[in-house]
Structure 1
Amino acid sequence: MYSARLQENIGKILHGRYTLVAAIGQGASGDVYLAQDLSLGRKVAIKLLHSSLAGDAFFLKRFQSEAKSAASLNHPNIMRVFDWGESGSTPYLVLEYLAGGSLREYLNTGELLSESQAASLMLQVAQGLSYAHGRGYVHRDIKPANLLFDDEARIRIADFGLARALSEAAWTEPVGTLMGTARYAAPEQALAKDSDRSSDVYSLGLVIYEALLGYLPFTGDTTVSLLMARIHRDVSVPEGSGTLKPILESCLRLSSEERISSTDLVFQLEKLVRVLEPPTSLKVSGPSPMITDENGDLTEVGGISSFANGTTLASSQGSADDRGHQSPIKPILPDLLDAGSNSATLIAPKLKVSRRHGAPLALWHKRRSLWFAIVAFVLIVLIAALSLFGLGSKLYSAVFSTKVPPVVGDTLAAAESAISASHLKVGGITYTYSPSVKSGQVSGEAPKSGTLLSRGKPVSLVVSKGPAPVAIPPVVGLSATAAENMVKSLGLIPVIEQSYSETAPLDQVISVTPAAGVMEQVQSKVTLTVSKGPAPRQVPNLVGQTEQNAVSQLQALALVPSESQGYSTTVPKGTVISQAQSPGSMVQRGSTVSFIVSKGPQIIKVPNVVGDTLQQAEAVLNQSGLTVGSVYSYFGSNTVVATSPRAGTNVQAGSSVALITG
């Protein structure tokens, strides 16, 4: 039985633009309707939040702020928010229409994801999170019910911003909603701490864990036991997760600081997807029933089936077809139901809606049918007449065909708008690396632009992921110039740092960061550490040291000792008297350091000068390194008759010798 409130809203026009066509369901935070955008002629989803939230001034302010923020997110893996507003006092969101159901509904059928399907799906969600995280947004409520499929099984993240606004509202969420959210909450969320980007990564890890294995870790009988079970240790990922095991482990760390970032997660998953077998297509819910007829007017919407259990809900007038059984009609936007409710109520009344709001419906249909019959008859006659002149096919093309617009170089959003404006639809979207097209721009379309197609036909797009990641080259041992050129040739940016090395010659690369073989995006910086040769040596103070110690010190510093000897009356024999290089001065490795070692004092024998004159004796003594001391003269003679010390006596150089004449 349908809520009277839901039935009352059907047919209303919000803000003069959005006609509520059919109620899709009721959830924890509001009601969801299928609607027609009268301005752009497209199907949208309208989420009318509960009236209990309308009186919360703080929530309304936060809701407006979060809605504006969510609308600024433009990524192929994030559900788009087109508009927001208030109907009377009830806030509402205008959302992208998706018809493929949610991951929660897919898992409820008992199906699990294969390894390649899980990796591909996880990559899509991680790309959406990385995009949002890079712009400062955190989701806070990643769970299977918030991961929605379009009719080609591409995944979207829903409810960006709404989770935060609802968490700060002064209202009480139903128990089922809390339990559904808690199943995928990060440890810090369980402890009522602030959520951050790593909380989204943890929740995504739990989602893929369940989608791959069919169950969640840390299950509990109550919400409290479930939350408390995961705040003490990391999640142990079983071997059944295959090659996703290390990636899931990096997502499911207890400490948020140890978890992989969403950006690094994208990088790791891209590498994994390239080596796995291509995933088979997911059998998601197909597109919803058409809500426009051939004239573009709103028409009857039939029953809506439940994806989860395959049951078709009857309209208020019954849903049996002419053969006496129920018609299996696919769900209209089941993914927008609040996932917190374990059993959402689907509403599918039969309804005819007119753009001429308030006009008698039967009369308007009658007039429209008459005019349509007249126009169709005239058109058939005209085509038949023109075919006689070979113009029939041209007229058909002019009326029912359109040209594929040129969208190469446009963003995906701009391309989708251009294709839609040309009365065509976007078919498959493939993401590939391109060395010349920026990331996020369309690099190809099929059929090519200018091709004539029937209206409503699909146009496939190829979207660039930017240049492909490249491996850091092995450059250690190369010269700085050769290494720099090699790094530049790969589109990377070399950064030169210099460091002393005892083993690498001058200007040789001794290390590279990141290490060789690591995959990096083009235009990433690569640090090359280049050798400056051996470090300079400080000359030690050798004076006063023994010869052996002086030699050992210099050899330990890889310096070359050069010693010589000299007499000294003050420095003991074997001790360094002086050195050529000043102590503390800097020299290159292998430099020669000269020093003089003492031989002790010089010993000289007193020469025999007896018989020499005083002048001759003085000259001989001076020549021998001695000096003339006292002179004792007897009888006025000038001839030396004796010396003191006597001739042949050993004395130190510089000693004085007394002369005696007579």
Structure 2
Amino acid sequence: MGHTLCICSRGTLTIDNKRYLFIQKLGEGGFSYVDLVEGLQDGHFYALKRILCHEQQDQDEAQREADMHRLFQHPNILRLEAYCLTERGSKQEAWLLLPFFKKGTLWNEVEGLKDKGNFLSEDQILLLLLGICRGLEAIHAKGYAHRDLKPTNILLGDDGQPVLMDLGSMNQARIQVEGSRQALALQDWAAQRCTISYRAPELFSVQSHCLIDERTDIWSLGCVLYAMMFGEGPYDMVFQKGDSVALAVQNQLSIPQNPRHSPALRQLLASMMTVDPQCRPHTSLLLSQLESLQPTAPDQHTTHI
């Protein structure tokens, strides 16, 4: 969808015959930029992700990211509004037009509370975790894994619903590794695409003959849960201090005692942070546990983050 793009005048552009006004830059990464734009027909705000494509492989990966978005029509997975490839000067850029979330990411929320000496309540954590898990279940059901789940890749809707984003690292859920060459290739891929302090132990040192499955996401989900509970990921400080995350994740995580958290929530976290991936739960089991733990207050559906 959409190979039509033109810069019509200063600050405006057209994608799929719809005009948008550039408002401001939102952020940038190594080879991508995100801008805030406004639809001139509908008045809605959008996030325009621009990926610099230096070679054909970059274009293929951007196309694949767009294809991953189009696989899903799910309230907990970010939808793609439009996609196009364009030439800007001597360079190619892939443009993904995405909904804009003014509340920002889960990390923005966690960090903002921490700066004030506060934390998410257990009820808020359980509601967020349920939505994130439902998004993951939808991804896993189609035979994929997210592979880069972290608080900065989870947006918050106006109603507080979590929405998974950045699907560029998604790949097949189950990878049968047969031989040291394939193991090393997967390990190198993970080093480039999976954020180190949220990366599952089995991706640091991939065995020559093993099965890597979607439960790498369950480990990452455990790290996200830890961040919601304690204001930072379990291995954030290890990384910041320059110590080895690869070594740290090989040991069973010690979960701090805190009266804010019930034994059930702590047990849920412990089950996700199991070093042996075969002992981690699948999303189906996590969802049944989470649904039974949800707050029972009559206003549970109107809880805002």
TM-score (norm 2): 0.75
Look up the equivalent residue of 2:148 and give its one-letter code.
D
* Alpha carbons of structure 1 residues 39 and 71: separation in structure 2 relative to 1, 3 Å: farther
Distance in 1 separating the partners of 2:243 and 2:10: 38
Cα shift readout 1:141-185 (whole Å, capped 9, x = no counterpart): 11111111112211111112x1249xx9xxxxxx9x98x921211
**Paired residues of 1:18 and 1:35 also in contact (CA < 8 A):** no
* Alpha carbons of structure 1 residues 261 and 276: separation in structure 2 relative to 1, 3 Å: farther
Distance in 2 separating the partners of 1:228 and 1:30: 31
Deviates more, 1:222-231 or 1:187-196: 187-196
How far residue 199 of structure 1 moved from its aligned partner, in angstroms, is 1.0
How far residue 257 of structure 1 moved from its aligned partner, in angstroms, is 0.9
Say whether residues 1:266 and 2:287 are aligned partners. yes
Match of 1:234 in 2: 252
Match of 2:131 in 1: 124
Look up the equivalent residue of 1:211 and give its one-letter code.
M
- The 3-state SS of whatever aligns with 1:254 is coil
Say whether residues 1:93 and 2:96 are aligned partners. yes
In structure 2, the gaps of 5 or more residues are 1-8, 172-184, 186-190
2:276 to 245, 255, 263: 255
* Alpha carbons of structure 1 residues 80 and 223: separation in structure 2 relative to 1, 3 Å: farther
**Paired residues of 1:199 and 1:256 also in contact (CA < 8 A):** yes
1:216 to 208, 233, 236: 233
Distance in 2 separating the partners of 1:73 and 1:81: 9
How far residue 222 of structure 1 moved from its aligned partner, in angstroms, is 4.6
Distance in 1 separating the partners of 2:27 and 2:104: 16
Say whether residues 1:163 and 2:163 are aligned partners. no
Say whether residues 1:113 and 2:155 are aligned partners. no
**Paired residues of 1:15 and 1:87 also in contact (CA < 8 A):** no
Say whether residues 1:185 and 2:212 are aligned partners. no
1:148 to 125, 144, 155: 155
In structure 1, the gaps of 5 or more residues are 1-7, 169-174, 284-662
Look up the equivalent residue of 2:66 and give its one-letter code.
A
How far residue 223 of structure 1 moved from its aligned partner, in angstroms, is 5.3
**Paired residues of 1:71 and 1:82 also in contact (CA < 8 A):** no
How far residue 189 of structure 1 moved from its aligned partner, in angstroms, is 2.6
* Alpha carbons of structure 1 residues 276 and 191: separation in structure 2 relative to 1, 3 Å: farther
Distance in 1 separating the partners of 2:104 and 2:221: 18
* Alpha carbons of structure 1 residues 9 and 117: separation in structure 2 relative to 1, 3 Å: farther
Look up the equivalent residue of 2:143 and give its one-letter code.
G
**Paired residues of 2:25 and 2:34 also in contact (CA < 8 A):** yes
Cα shift readout 1:454-506 (whole Å, capped 9, x = no counterpart): xxxxxxxxxxxxxxxxxxxxxxxxxxxxxxxxxxxxxxxxxxxxxxxxxxxxx
How far residue 239 of structure 1 moved from its aligned partner, in angstroms, is 3.8
- The 3-state SS of whatever aligns with 1:235 is coil
Distance in 1 separating the partners of 2:252 and 2:19: 48
* Alpha carbons of structure 1 residues 198 and 18: separation in structure 2 relative to 1, 3 Å: farther
**Paired residues of 2:27 and 2:35 also in contact (CA < 8 A):** no
Match of 2:25 in 1: 24
- The 3-state SS of whatever aligns with 2:24 is strand
Greater CA radius of gyration, 1 or 2?
1
* Alpha carbons of structure 1 residues 10 and 190: separation in structure 2 relative to 1, 3 Å: farther
- Aligned residue pairs: how many? 262
Greater RCO (CA < 8 Å, at least 6 residues apart): 2
Look up the equivalent residue of 1:163 and give its one-letter code.
S
Distance in 2 separating the partners of 1:137 and 1:18: 34
Matches within 5 A, 1:50-449: 51=52, 54-88=53-87, 89-109=92-112, 110=114, 111-160=118-167, 162-164=168-170, 181-191=195-205, 196-218=213-235, 219-220=237-238, 221-222=240-241, 225-231=244-250, 233-240=251-258, 241-242=261-262, 243-274=264-295, 281-283=303-305
Look up the equivalent residue of 1:103 and give its one-letter code.
L
How far residue 274 of structure 1 moved from its aligned partner, in angstroms, is 5.0
* Alpha carbons of structure 1 residues 202 and 67: separation in structure 2 relative to 1, 3 Å: same
TM-score (norm 1): 0.37
How far residue 212 of structure 1 moved from its aligned partner, in angstroms, is 0.9
- The 3-state SS of whatever aligns with 2:198 is coil
Match of 1:523 in 2: none
Q: Which has the higher helix share?
A: 2
Look up the equivalent residue of 1:189 and give its one-letter code.
L
